Structure 1
Amino acid sequence: MSDEVEEVEQLKTFYENVVEWVDEWLLPRYARNPKVHRWDPQWFEYVEVVDRLEALWRSWKHFRL
């Protein structure tokens, strides 16, 4: 496989899914006061949260390329 093909594949699959993106990209940047705003570790059980984060992740992927 050529270097260009490998690079394109890495760009397309930087994060395999929204859960990986949230855990590795979003949460380290989540700079809120934990006494006022708490992150629910079971966020993926809320349909609205999953939908919104999925949209953010897809937008991130699009603009990253």
Structure 2
Amino acid sequence: MLVNYHTIIDILHTALAIHNTALVNHHTALDTHRIVLYYYRNLIYLNINTFYTYMILVSYF
């Protein structure tokens, strides 16, 4: 009975470890996604600003 009890605890610990790893990976994936979105958003803003600056310069000449 004691061996079975230890096996059950080991299985639970393994399940918890896998669950925690999955959670960490999920958060890492979310962070990566957020960073990529942030980068692209800045890139788009930069392109819009560059475009406006270019249009202003063109309108002067």
TM interval, shorter chain, is: 0.3 to 0.5
TM-score (norm 1): 0.30
More relative contact order, 1 or 2 (CA 8 Å, 6+ apart):
1
Higher helix proportion: 2
